[in-house]
Amino acid sequence: MKFLNFSEANCKNCYKCLRHCPVKAIKIKNGQAKIVEDRCIGCGQCLVVCPQDARNIKSDLKEVKNAIKEGKKVIASIAPSFAGAFDINDGGQIVTALKKLGFSAVEETAIGAEIVAKLYKEYIEEKEYENIITTSCPSANYLIEKYYPSLVKYMMPVVSPMVAHGKVIKYNYGMDSYVVFIGPCTAKKIEAANFQHKDIVNAVLTFEELSEWFKEENLKINELKPQSFDAEAQKRGKEFPIGGGVLNSFLDKEINKKYHFISVDGIKESMEIFESLSSGNLKKVCLEVNVCTGSCIGGPVMPNGELDFFRRLIKVKEYVKGKDNYTEIENEYKNQIHRLNFTKRFFDKSLNKNKANEDEIKKILREMGKYEKSDELNCGACGYNTCREKAQAVYEGMAEMEMCLPHMRSKAESLNHVIVENSPNIIILVDRELKIKEFNPTAERIFNVKADNIIGKPISILIDDTKFNEVKKNKKSILKEKVSYSLYGVVLMQNIIYLEKQGVILAIMVDITAEEANKKELIKVKENTLDAAQSVIEKQMRVAQEIASLLGETTAETKMILTKLKKLTMGETGDIK
């Protein structure tokens, strides 16, 4: 997803994001979580709960800085919840800080909220409706369009305060002005790109991004001299981020007679009331729905470590309290309501999911080790509420078999058991007190004792524990040490391994008795062979000496004959015998 997603390097198969995603818009593939845009409502809660901080939120910060450098008219529209986002003493300090960053003008988004409140009131007064749902929260709007499309008909056809204010800014400062919305909401990044009002809001910065920018510039906001907003809203618009603030902005005695007014915040609560509305259990209700718990003050991208929720709430209330009571919208904005188009259409964006039949669900359940109804633990560890829901997700390609943690644990334990039970090597596990915890069948055979009779007892009653104590003391493993246990008639190559995290010592011993016996036999054969070779050599030496002696005598005789023959040939006189 181009606005919200997870960084691949940090995802750790914990499924916490999926557990917190109310619409299960997260796909797990090869253990990596990925947000599926078509299913996402942009609430950002999955990124908030990620324990690895593997979140990746599209940032417009570079574009905003470039716009300022290029000398554009960069106008800030800041949400009124800023009062609870930053540690400031006066609302005007945020204006000073933003202008130091290079913004040409700073206005309150609450101006747009006042326009929206006025349009809501006109909409309700216009005629009687079966039910009405406010549309200031973009995540709530996406939730309805994608998962409760039958309720689209109840949605007020009015833009959000962000877009309303963006239109006003473009009207007042010119279409070439560069509008930057600053707030606590991730869904605003998605909303700004909507085709119905594209290029109205040019960039969206979160309070978190702004806080980091302040740190980069070494700006200490609470030490700055306050400045006035270039355009400031009345109390009615400023109350929008507080739960119930949207409804309170347009209620009066006449309107109160028409509907039951309900304010809801939180995803779970929002879905519950949508379910009730979809089933026809509610009639003549006007709903204010905010997906974030605590409304906008509980937004997902508030600065980290600044203030807790309740301190933020109090600071926003104090900021609003100091403003004027409800008044009619300023004349200039009255005129703009009729000059500008603040309508918005909402659509049925429901998903076409492939529904698995019962046989397919059962097949997937069996592959996850769920053969009986009792096997379906519905533990939720994988992120899905039930095993059958998980099976459906597997069928859709949104989940993997391996995500069933109880099944994988059982499978791993079973595999480990098979390995230990069938290992040809001795496997012994002892605790910090050197008491035996595990004792496999090979160990039973070699040491001629049953595991049931030895587990829980000191290793010293079986074998010398000197090396075990050494490993425990030094916290260093001993590897490939040959030891003879004459009591058991075996020679073992033992590895005593220190496992600090688990608090145990693992001994893996290889029986090399046969090999050692073969070595002795081989040495005897070698000795016999050497003796035989020595005897042969000695015999050969004697024969050689005898041959040499005989050769010596015959050589002398031959020399004498040859000498006589030479004299005869040369004609020398003498007797020839």
Per residue in 256-279, pLDDT (tens digit) is 888 999 999 999 999 999 999 999
Residue 493 CB coordination number (10 Å): 17
Q: Are residues 524 and 502 in the same domain?
A: no
Instruction: With beta carbons less than 8 A apart as the criterion, state whether 430 and 437 touch.
Output: yes
Averaged pLDDT for residues 289-298:
93
Give the amino acid at 384: Y
Q: How far apart are CA 3 and CA 171, in angstroms?
A: 28
Q: How far apart are CA 118 and CA 159, in angstroms?
A: 12
Residue 576: what pLDDT?
A: 41
Q: Are residues 222 and 315 in the same domain?
A: yes
Residue 147 CB coordination number (10 Å): 20
Q: Which of 196-200, 275-279, 317-321 has the lowest mean pLDDT?
A: 317-321
Q: Which of 483, 511, 539 is the last residue of a domain?
A: 511
Instruction: With beta carbons less than 8 A apart as the criterion, state whether 63 and 303 touch.
Output: no
Structural domain contains residue 130? yes
Kindly give the pairing relationship between strand 478-485 and strand 490-499: antiparallel
Give the amino acid at 393: A
Q: Are residues 206 and 116 in the same domain?
A: yes
Q: Can you point out the beta strands (E) in 104-155?
A: 105-108, 132-133
Instruction: With beta carbons less than 8 A apart as the criterion, state whether 144 and 264 touch.
Output: no
Structural domain contains residue 490? yes
Q: Are residues 99 and 143 in the same domain?
A: yes
Q: Are residues 499 and 374 in the same domain?
A: no
Structural domain contains residue 348? no
Helix axes 387-396, 358-367, angle to 10 degrees: 100
Instruction: With beta carbons less than 8 A apart as the criterion, state whether 516 and 491 touch.
Output: yes
- The pTM of the full predicted model, rounded to 2 decimals, is 0.74
559 has pLDDT over 80: no
291 Cβ contact list (under 8 Å, min separation 6) = 41, 43, 137, 139, 140, 143, 187, 265, 266, 267, 270
Q: Domain range holding 371? A: 358-410
The number of residues making up the chain comes to 577
Instruction: With beta carbons less than 8 A apart as the criterion, state whether 344 and 157 touch.
Output: yes
Query: Which helix or strand (DSSP H or E) is residue 289 part of?
Result: strand 285-290
Structural domain contains residue 292? yes
Structural domain contains residue 159? yes
Residue 23: what pLDDT?
A: 95
Q: Are residues 500 and 542 in the same domain?
A: no
Residue 324 CB coordination number (10 Å): 10
Task: Output 568 or 194, whichever has higher pLDDT.
Answer: 194
SS3 state of residue 4: strand
Tell me the range of 7-16, 39-48, 142-151, 366-375 where mean pLDDT is highest. Answer: 142-151
Q: Are residues 535 and 449 in the same domain?
A: no
What's the chain's average pLDDT? 87
Q: Which of 73-77, 91-95, 250-254, 439-443 has the lowest mean pLDDT?
A: 250-254
Structural domain contains residue 452? yes
Tally of structural domains, the chain? 4
Q: How far apart are CA 449 and CA 135, in angstroms?
A: 75
Q: How far apart are CA 535 and CA 531, in angstroms?
A: 6
Q: Are residues 324 and 370 in the same domain?
A: no
Per residue in 89-146, pLDDT (tens digit) is 999 999 999 999 999 999 999 999 999 999 999 999 988 899 999 999 999 999 999 9
Structural domain contains residue 345? no
Structural domain contains residue 535? yes
